[in-house]
Amino acid sequence: MTPDVKTEIISQAKDFSMFGLFFQADPIVKFVMILLIFLSIWCWAIIINKSLLFKRERKYQSEFEELFWSGVDLQNLYDDIKHNCNNSFAKIFVTGMSEFLKNYNLSNGRKIEGVTSRLQNVVHVTIGKEIEHYENNMIVLASIGSIAPFIGLFGTVWGIMNSFQSIALSNNTSLAVVAPGIAEALFATALGLLAAIPAVAAYNKYSADIEKINNKLDFFATEFCLILNRKIEKN
């Protein structure tokens, strides 16, 4: 059999589809591919979860802000929502009002020292907890975005090493011998980028969203504490 015929047979025997490249890959490269697919699925699960979280939070926050700034009595609002805090603004409001009512007797106007500082402390602790909730799994997105390309690169290097070994064993430098191993190697790189690019994009977007939420919560907390302080000073 001539070398050209052998080359043609090898070329026809190889499946260059995604599934073909996976099943024909070296065990190490196959493990890398499985790991990258898992990281990609994990990344998209976080992205979908956070998208739904931010969408829900924006809806409830808008509704609460509209109600809060409408001039409704704070005591009545507190009684209505204290057992149903469905957004960060409501949690800050309920926490602040609880501390206010606990430390200041509205019925006789008697002041208790340190109410203002305690109000500010509990409100900012609540903000910290809410931001921590929003930042949940952000480190996972950052990690996937940074390490996935290197994991894919490792699979690529390993696959190319196997290609060179195939060349050495077959004494044939034709493209039909080299191409399958290189294709498997590059497929690992593609999977790494497929996992990393959405992770980096989502991390940047959600980091900006969290920063905006943090600023809005700080502004609301400051205004809310000023309102409560004015109530204290009137009595």
Q: What is the pLDDT along the chain (235 residues), one digit of tens a residue?
A: 444 444 444 444 455 565 566 656 677 878 888 899 999 999 999 999 999 999 999 899 888 888 888 888 888 888 888 888 888 999 999 998 888 887 765 445 555 566 778 888 889 999 999 999 999 999 999 999 999 999 999 888 888 887 777 777 777 666 666 666 677 778 888 889 999 999 999 999 999 999 999 999 999 999 988 888 887 776 6
Classify residue 175: in a domain, yes or no: yes
* 220 inside domain: yes
Is 211 a domain residue? yes
The C-alpha atoms of residue 169 and residue 188 are separated, in whole angstroms, by: 24
Domain assignment of residue 207, yes or no = yes
The answer to the question of residue 208 being in a domain is yes
Q: How far apart are CA 54 and CA 209, in angstroms?
A: 8
| Angle, CA of 77, 82 and 88, to the nearest 5° | 90
Domain that holds residue 164: 29-234
User: Within 10 Å of residue 183's Cβ, how many Cβ atoms?
Assistant: 17
pLDDT at 13: 47
Domain membership flag for residue 90? yes
13 CA to centre of own chain:
42
Query: What SS3 class is residue 18?
Result: helix
Q: Is residue 112 part of a domain?
A: yes
Helix 27-68 × helix 74-81 angle, to 10°: 140
Q: Is residue 223 part of a domain?
A: yes
- pLDDT reported for residue 169: 73
Which residue is associated with the tokens 């025997």? 13
pLDDT at site 24: 67
Per-residue pLDDT at 17: 64
Instruction: Give how many domains the chain has, as a whole number.
Output: 1
Q: Note the pTM of the prediction, 2 decimals.
A: 0.78
